[in-house]
Amino acid sequence: MKFCSECAQPVTMIIPPDDTRLRYVCSGCGMVHYENPKLVVGSIPIWDQGGDTKILLCRRAIEPRMGYWTLPAGFMENAETSAAGAQRETEEEAGANIALHDVFTMMNVPHVHQVHLFYRATLLDLNYVAGIESLEVQLFSEATIPWDDIAFPTVSLTLELFFKDMRKVREGGSFGFHAQDILKPMRST
Amino acid sequence: MKFCSECAQPVTMIIPPDDTRLRYVCSGCGMVHYENPKLVVGSIPIWDQGGDTKILLCRRAIEPRMGYWTLPAGFMENAETSAAGAQRETEEEAGANIALHDVFTMMNVPHVHQVHLFYRATLLDLNYVAGIESLEVQLFSEATIPWDDIAFPTVSLTLELFFKDMRKVREGGSFGFHAQDILKPMRST
Quote ipTM for the complex: 0.94
Question: Does A28 reach chain B within 8 Å, measured CB to CB?
Answer: no
pLDDT mean over A98-121:
98
pLDDT at A186 (0 to 100): 61
CB-CB under 8 Å, A177 with B83: no
pLDDT mean over B1-29:
95
pLDDT (tens digit per residue) in A61-103: 999 999 999 999 999 999 999 999 999 999 999 999 999 999 9
pLDDT at B184 (0 to 100): 85
Q: How far is B51 from chain A (nearest CA, A)?
A: 28
Residue of chain B minimizing CA distance to A21: B77
C-alpha R_g of chain B? 20
pLDDT mean over A104-120:
98
pLDDT at B188 (0 to 100): 56
Q: Distance of CA A131 to CAs A90, A113, A128, B179, Å? A: 9, 26, 9, 29
Residue A189 predicted with pLDDT over 60: no
Residue B128 predicted with pLDDT over 90: yes
CB atoms closer than 10 angstroms to residue B15: 11
Q: How far is B82 from chain A (nearest CA, A)?
A: 7
Percent of chain A at pLDDT exceeding 70: 98
Residue B187 predicted with pLDDT over 70: no
Position A51 confidence tier, pLDDT thresholds 50, 70, 90: confident
Nearest to B145 by CA among B153, B134, B156, B154: B156
pLDDT mean over A124-136:
97
Residue of chain B minimizing CA distance to A18: B132
Q: What is the mean pLDDT of chain B?
A: 96
pLDDT at B161 (0 to 100): 98
Position A184 confidence tier, pLDDT thresholds 50, 70, 90: confident
Nearest-angstrom CA–CA distance, A67 and B71 = 45
Residue B114: strand, helix, or coil: strand
Amino acid, res. A155: V
pLDDT at A118 (0 to 100): 98
CB-CB under 8 Å, A78 with B5: no
Amino acid, res. A114: Q
Question: Does A32 reach chain B within 8 Å, measured CB to CB?
Answer: no
CB atoms closer than 10 angstroms to residue B125: 9
CB-CB under 8 Å, A36 with B79: no
Nearest-angstrom CA–CA distance, A28 and A37 = 26
Question: Does B88 reach chain A within 8 Å, measured CB to CB?
Answer: no
Residue B175 predicted with pLDDT over 70: yes
Amino acid, res. A106: M
pLDDT at B51 (0 to 100): 85
pLDDT (tens digit per residue) in B21-44: 999 999 999 999 999 999 999 999
